[in-house]
Amino acid sequence: MSGILSDSDQLLTLPAQVSPRYLTDLQVTMIDEAIGSLGEYGELRLVIEKGRLRFVITYKSFDVLKYTPGMIAGKSG
């Protein structure tokens, strides 16, 4: 396994099959954008098929104590 540091200085562990040398600049940009959309306790999964990145799956998180109506749908309210 290899690791990289995220913006929050947490070590992100990548499976050996997802070495950054196999990602295109566009894929790295997509992953970075996905990480930024997750929320405090969100999760990002990279699906590899036949040695290539195929899907980026995000699980967003919402703090129940900070919830305001419309937050989940992305509407200001």
Q: Are strands 2-5 and 11-14 parallel, antiparallel or unpaired?
A: antiparallel
Q: Label residue 63 by pLDDT band (50, 70, 90).
A: confident
**Sign of the torsion angle spanned by Cα atoms 11, 12, 15, 21:** negative
Q: Label residue 61 by pLDDT band (50, 70, 90).
A: confident
Domain ranges, ordered by start, for the chain: 2-66
Query: CA 20 to CA 77: how far, in whole Å?
Result: 40
Q: What b-and-e string marks burial along 38-55, b requiring 16 or more CB atoms within 10 Å of the CB?
A: eeeeeeeebeeeeeebee
